[in-house]
Structures are given as structure tokens and as C-alpha cells.
């Protein structure tokens, strides 16, 4: 693994190495997360899911992915 082309980010509180120049959308896809069942927060701001493929991940970003759970 080439560390040179990696950045450090936090995903749900866990530090991970991720490819440089990738979008939030590609991260969600690589994690196999169903987009219609989550809310995504980047650095304490809720993201519009329509724009996640244009939002690039940067070093030290903090991403929180919250799953919706039904009940009643």
C-alpha cells in the first residue's frame, strides 16, 4: 500500500487511510452503504446527497454516517 497517496480521515470515530482525491460518494460506495438509508455529516455539516459525488475528501476530515432505523 502506498502511504504517499493516502489521507487520514475519521469515519464514525475510527481513523482510516483513504485514497487522495476521492469524493464522499466514492467512500460511501466503497463502504457498501445504501445511500437511501443514511444521513451523511462532513465536519459537523449535513450533506445534500445529490452533491456527494462532487464533494472531495480532504486530510483530517471527520465523516459521520448515521443509519435510519424504523420502529414503532
50 CA to centre of own chain: 14
| Residue linked to cell 452533491 | 51
**Global pTM?**
0.84
Question: Tell me: the pLDDT tens digits for 12-50?
Answer: 999 999 888 899 999 999 999 988 889 999 999 999 999
**pLDDT band at 55; cut points 50, 70, 90:** very high
DSSP letter (8 states) at residue 59: T
How far apart CA 5 and CA 33 sit, in angstroms, is 24
As its CATH architecture, domain 3-67 has: Roll (3.10)
Amino acid at each position: 500500500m502506498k502511504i504517499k497517496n493516502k489521507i487520514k480521515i475519521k469515519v464514525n470515530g475510527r481513523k482510516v487511510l483513504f485514497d487522495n482525491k476521492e469524493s464522499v460518494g466514492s467512500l460511501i460506495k466503497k463502504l457498501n452503504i445504501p445511500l437511501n438509508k443514511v444521513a451523511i455529516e462532513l465536519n459537523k455539516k449535513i450533506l445534500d446527497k445529490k452533491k456527494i459525488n462532487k464533494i472531495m475528501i480532504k486530510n483530517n476530515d471527520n465523516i459521520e454516517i448515521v443509519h435510519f432505523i424504523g420502529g414503532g
